[in-house]
Structure 1
Amino acid sequence: MKTKVYIFLAVFCYWAVNAQIHTPSGIIQGTSGNANVGIGTGSPMAKLQVDNGNILVRNFANVDNQSAIMIAHSINITNYDTFGTSVRTITESAGYNTYGLQFFTQETHATGQTEKLRILGNGNVGIGKMNPTNKLDVNGTIHSKEVKVDMTGWSDFVFKKEYKLPTLEEVEKHITEKGHLVNIPNEEEVLKNGINLGEMNAKLLQKIEELTLYVIEQGKKNEKQAGEIEFLKKKLLRIEKVTNSK
């Protein structure tokens, strides 16, 4: 009887130290000391490590959004410990927003984490920026095949009859006094605040259209002057003929 008890206790202690649950899809195993749980691995390095599988967290009617978000404070996704990504929640105490997500890359599973992307609770996303104030803030270069900007207006009003085209004298005066074109931000403003691509493209188009009107106007003047010069040349030839005939 004592022998059976000893065997039972030994099995129980082994199970308590390294608990395993066998399922049709694999083994769920826990380790001693750090209370880590591994799914698909016998040596989990985090509170929950899942190898070669997906994690699904569903928010049913009896679980509020806050609880659903806080179920996982940190999720680490690794590839043989050489490269990985970890995701963790942001709470109000972080000082940026109430509930959000931080995405990290790391050189090893547990060390060297560097934040790469952050999603705040208000929907703002920051890449390389910890406190995004816009829907997308990027601290770096954006490389894209195409960028589409929605506009609320365009610069074709320059070609309407009621548009008052500034004279070249007025343009010259503004440049002399201000050091930049009318309605175009100066260097100090651009360096401080940046530019809005859509707004700036519209303003540059306005200047191009104004320049086009100046060129057309100058072309008409040149054509008129060419006609007057031709008329004077013919008149001069007639005068010369009359003078030579005397």
Structure 2
Amino acid sequence: MKKLGIYLFFTFLLFSNISLAQQETLIKRINCGGSSVTADDGLDYDADISSDDISFTSNSTTIDFDYVGPELNEPYRSFRLMSRNTASEFDYTFSNLQNGEYKVVLHFAEPYHGVANSNWNTRRFDIDVNSGEFTVDNFNIMTAAALPSSDPMDGAKKIYKMVADSLTVANGSLVIKFTQVANDPIVNAIELFKLENIDSGTTSNWTKSGSNIFYTLGNVGIGTGAITGYRLAVDGPVRAREVRVDTDNWPDYVFQKEYTLPTLDEVEKHIEEKGHLPNIPSANDVETNGIEVGEMNRLLLEKVEELTLYILNQDKQLKLQKQISVNQYDEFRKLEKRVLALEASLH
């Protein structure tokens, strides 16, 4: 049976307004200041370790504050920051990159100022990505995370993602710089993506032919990174006018002579012992694993067809019982007439 996700994927392509003009290929996803982790959304973040492809200036350090409480997990519990009293800035350098367009996503969550106290305006810093191609001055995490609220204190224990798009790499490297304005600059996580144009022809994953676009490799996640085993994984509602699910072994076999129909006593015993119909997953199974729409429709139709056979069998029994009752009534009437005749002869 093919997964429902295959068909939802094409429905998504047909009805969405999302532009597929560029493909994003992940280059690096770093848990700044921390070890490798899998975030709540299923995305994997690498440990913050210097290598040939990535480095950070020595005037930075790592730290893990617990003031964010249970509301935030990694990559927002640890971070890299400028070493206090040693310099006014620190940076990350990504090396050995192919020349072309890139996108950077910076993750922030204020760990202390405005969270453990009311000093929300204490930490402010400038951000420079790719030598001035993208800049933010006097950035305050609390103010940004609070949006759309105008009260900076609403930014406590919330995250903010900053996107620097369409960055041009011409010399094989990209530098992200954080410069102090007030207190220590910090960053919780960094994502780096290579952008590839797919307006025509073929790229590594997408193929365009006329007005059609085909995905040829890998899986697709919308709102989730937990896509292993699924061509399409969606964390949220999906709306479509019609969905087709291909499935094998449609339960016409129930009407075959060789099919063994469970007796009602057997069904009753199974319900008493298991708490659900035979061949139907339990509530716990569904809660844990969900359902496959095609398979569930097959099982439900199997039960409908079995129920039809029970009804037909019961109808036959009722007709037989009715005929027996008619025959018995006829015999009773005959006996009654004989008794009346006998009584008449005696008088």
Q: TM-score, normalised by structure 2?
A: 0.38
Which whole-Å CA distance do the structure 2 matches of 1:123 and 1:95 have between them?
23
Indicate whether 1:72 and 2:168 are aligned: no
State which structure, 1 or 2, has the greater radius of gyration over its C-alpha atoms: 1
Higher strand share: 2
Indicate whether 1:161 and 2:257 are aligned: yes
CA contact (8 A) 2:102 2:195 kept: no
Q: Secondary structure in 2 aligned to 1:165?
A: coil
Corresponding residue for 2:65? none
Corresponding residue for 1:130? 225
Correspondence 1:201-216 to 2 at 5 A:
201-216=297-312
**Which of 211, 226, 229 pairs up with 2:322?**
226
**How many pairs are equivalent?**
150
Corresponding residue for 1:145? 241
Corresponding residue for 1:199? 295
1:60-79: per-residue Cα shift (whole Å, max 9, x none)?
Answer: xxxxxx94xx722139xxxx
Q: Secondary structure in 2 aligned to 1:239?
A: helix
Q: Secondary structure in 1 aligned to 2:328?
A: helix
Which whole-Å CA distance do the structure 1 matches of 2:298 and 2:216 have between them?
33
Q: Percent identity?
A: 41
Unaligned 5+ runs, structure 1? 1-54, 58-65, 76-84, 102-119
Partner AA of 1:205 in structure 2: L
Which whole-Å CA distance do the structure 2 matches of 1:158 and 1:206 have between them?
7
Correspondence 1:55-66 to 2 at 5 A:
none
Which whole-Å CA distance do the structure 2 matches of 1:184 and 1:56 have between them?
44
Which whole-Å CA distance do the structure 1 matches of 2:321 and 2:301 have between them?
30
1:39-91: per-residue Cα shift (whole Å, max 9, x none)?
Answer: xxxxxxxxxxxxxxxx899xxxxxxxx94xx722139xxxxxxxxx98789xx
Partner AA of 2:225 in structure 1: M
Distance 1:226 1:87, change over 3 A: farther
Distance 1:88 1:143, change over 3 A: farther
Corresponding residue for 1:189? 285
Correspondence 1:27-46 to 2 at 5 A:
none
CA RMSD, aligned part only?
Answer: 3.5
Question: How far is 1:138 from its partner?
Answer: 0.9
Q: Secondary structure in 2 aligned to 1:166?
A: coil
Higher helix share: 1
CA contact (8 A) 1:180 1:186 kept: yes
1:179-220: per-residue Cα shift (whole Å, max 9, x none)?
Answer: 111111101000010000001110111111111111111111
Correspondence 1:62-141 to 2 at 5 A:
67=98, 71-74=100-103, 122-133=217-228, 134-141=230-237
Moved over 6 A (4+): 85-89, 98-101
Q: TM-score, normalised by structure 1?
A: 0.53
Partner AA of 1:142 in structure 2: V
CA contact (8 A) 2:219 2:227 kept: yes
CA contact (8 A) 1:124 1:135 kept: yes
Indicate whether 1:243 and 2:336 are aligned: no
Question: How far is 1:121 from its partner?
Answer: 9.9
Which whole-Å CA distance do the structure 1 matches of 2:217 and 2:333 have between them?
82
